[in-house]
Amino acid sequence: MTSTDIKEAVRNPKLYYILVPCLAALWPLWTGLVSMSESNAKWDRHKGAYLDAQKIMLSIKELDPERLAAKHTSQEQFSYPAVVDSVARSAGISSADYKLHASAIMKVTGGQESQDADVTLKQVDLSRFARFLTSMQMQGASLQCVSLKLTKQKGTADTWKADMKFRYYKS
């Protein structure tokens, strides 16, 4: 078969009358055999991960039921200075190495209240910064880090200045 024969065969509409229905018939076959088996395998993996997570959650519920009861009890007033001080101490950051500025409580849409705070860690290495940020985020779902800026200090290997803005939503 020469290249001119191939060009003539491609131009022939009978080829397409045969090729298009064959491809249309192969599509459901491929979907049924290949794609569905992959989808079922993926479903089984996700189902297994969900069941494992469910076992872990039930064990937490059995070992520490106070976690569930703590949400329903009256919570004490949230205080940025207290939270930032305890988290900074646990991360190994002295009170001289951070600056905190908390704003007044503001009403946001829906009648919910929020309070912002700017926290600056003056000289911190990345591991202590990561510990600080992780611990702050673990204070609850109502506390969120809205913005973050890391600036490397000149002339040092691992010293950074971290500017963070947190927002606390009061329930």
Report the pLDDT value the prediction gives residue 68, as an integer from 0 to 100. Answer: 66
Rounded mean pLDDT of the chain?
A: 87
| pTM assigned to the model | 0.56
Whether 39 has a pLDDT exceeding 60, the answer reads yes
Residue 76 — pLDDT band, cuts 50, 70, 90?
A: low
Whether 127 has a pLDDT exceeding 60, the answer reads yes
Report the pLDDT value the prediction gives residue 118, as an integer from 0 to 100. Answer: 97
End-to-end CA separation in angstroms for the chain: 78
